[in-house]
Structure 1
Amino acid sequence: MFSEEVFNAIAAAFAAMSLWEVAAVVLALAYLIFAMKENSLCWYAAFVSTSIYVFLFWDVSLLMESALQIFYLVMAVYGWWQWRKQGDTQSELRIHRWALRTHIIVAVVVGLLTLSFGYVLSTSTHAELPYLDSFTTWGAVVTTYMVTRKVLENWIYWIVIDGASVYLYIDRELYLTALLFVLYVVLVVIGFFQWNAIYKREQLES
């Protein structure tokens, strides 16, 4: 009986989801698949998907996530530009790694920003799950930049961020988006191994 009630509740939640969320999820999935293949079409899919999510997240009081989408819009344009060859003045961008020291600095900065913005949101706004919202937002800001620069470890960062986001979206009843991020966790693991293979091959060729 309990399992049937849970199933019915989930089915009702999915039925209540808007076509806008469906479109955003499909495009977000397309972004990741294209990114795994180093295809610049990923940035077109990202731009449209994030445009939709700006309003979806605001509507469910995830203020930092909504603001993050505006950042994504800018980064979609920047990423598209970075992934293109700039004539004879810039060589093609290749997958590379960051030093351990850089990762430590990034972790400290994201932690401080999470605590600072989480506190402000919890005391001054109607935001839900302010600290988790802040963590996924600032983590995604850094990691998205890493994608635009083709930093290999971006995929490892995404495992943590996407895993935390699953809980965030379930709490806000964005079930299809939560399911998308479960799939993201699987795909980013695959993406890491794909990029790592490319990285090793290019290191041997250089």
Structure 2
Amino acid sequence: MFDEQFASAITGALAAMSWWELGAVALALAYLILAMRENSLCWYAAFISTSIYIFLFWDVSLLMESALQIFYLAMAVYGWWQWRKGSEEHELRIHCWSLRTHLLVFNAVGVLTLVFGYVLANNTHAELPYLDSFTTWGAVITTYMVTRKVLENWIYWIVIDGASVYLYIDRGLYLTALLFVFYVVLVVIGFFQWRAIFEREQVATS
């Protein structure tokens, strides 16, 4: 029964979706595939896709997600600069963070989620304020990890993208939700691709 309802919702969403959402989804997918290949063109796709999503998320009352896109714009520029600079100087390589750093990140995201979720719940018309805040702050730190080529970014994305699927289904952004289901599969592949590169580089420099 649920499968039939979901399929019906997807069909209806595809029929009613805007060309803006289609373009944003296509570019977001291009970003991830290019990032998996360490191709700096991924940041161009990210910049344009993000610009579109600012308005799409605002329109469905996902205020934190909309605000997150503004951050993404800045990070697309920063990421492009870091990757190009690292490529030229051969300094920016895939690397890992320490357990202590990850624990600090978990605590920070947890606190920010509670604080901003509470503020949104009591002062705005935001929907799913705590989940919205979690995916937003989780994405903030994880996007930074991508710009610095931290290997574990892919593991973070599995959790964030999985939570985002429910968020977007609830707000009727079915095509975007479908994109994030695909994202979960791709980030697993991305992790193993980056880990293979990381291990080769470790052997080469040892």
Q: TM-score, normalised by structure 1?
A: 0.95
Q: Where does residue 61 of structure 1 map in the other structure?
A: 61
Taking structure 2 as the reference length, the TM-score comes to 0.95
The aligned amino acid for 2:151 is L
Structure 1 residue 33 corresponds to structure 2 residue 33: yes
- Could you tell me which amino acid in structure 2 is paired with residue 26 of structure 1? A
**Percent identity over paired residues:** 79
Distance 1:86 1:157, change over 3 A: closer
Are the equivalent residues in 2 in contact too, given 1:55–1:66 (CA < 8 A)?
A: yes
Contact 1:83/1:92 (CA < 8 Å) preserved in 2?
A: no
Is 1:195 paired with 2:198?
Answer: no
Residue aligned with 1:84, SS: helix
State the number of aligned residues.
205
Give the CA deviation at 1:163.
Answer: 0.1
CA apart distance, 1:157: 0.1
The residue matched to 1:133 in structure 2 has which SS? Answer: helix
Q: 1:144-163 to 2 correspondence within 5 Å?
A: 144-163=143-162
Describe the shift of the 1:6–1:129 C-alpha distance in structure 2 as closer, same or farther (beyond 3 A). closer
5+ residue gaps, structure 1, are none
Unmatched runs of 5 consecutive residues or more in structure 2: none
1:11-65 alpha-carbon deviations (Å, 9 max, x no partner): 1222111110000000000000000000000000000000000000000000000
Find the aligned partners of 1:173 and 1:77 in 2 and give their Cα distance: 30
Q: Which residue of 2 aligns with 1:141?
A: 140
**Closer, same or farther: CA 100–20 of 1 in aligned 2, 3 Å:** same
Q: Which amino acid aligns with 2:171?
A: R
Q: Is the 8 A contact 2:86 2:92 kept in 1?
A: no
Query: Which residue identity lines up with residue 122 of structure 1 in the other structure?
Result: A
Give me the whole-angstrom Cα distance separating, in 2, the residues matched to 1:138 and 1:5.
31
Report the Cα offset of residue 125 of structure 1.
Answer: 0.1
- The answer on 1:119 being equivalent to 2:118 is yes
Q: Runs of 4 or more off by more than 2 Å in structure 1?
A: 1-10, 85-88
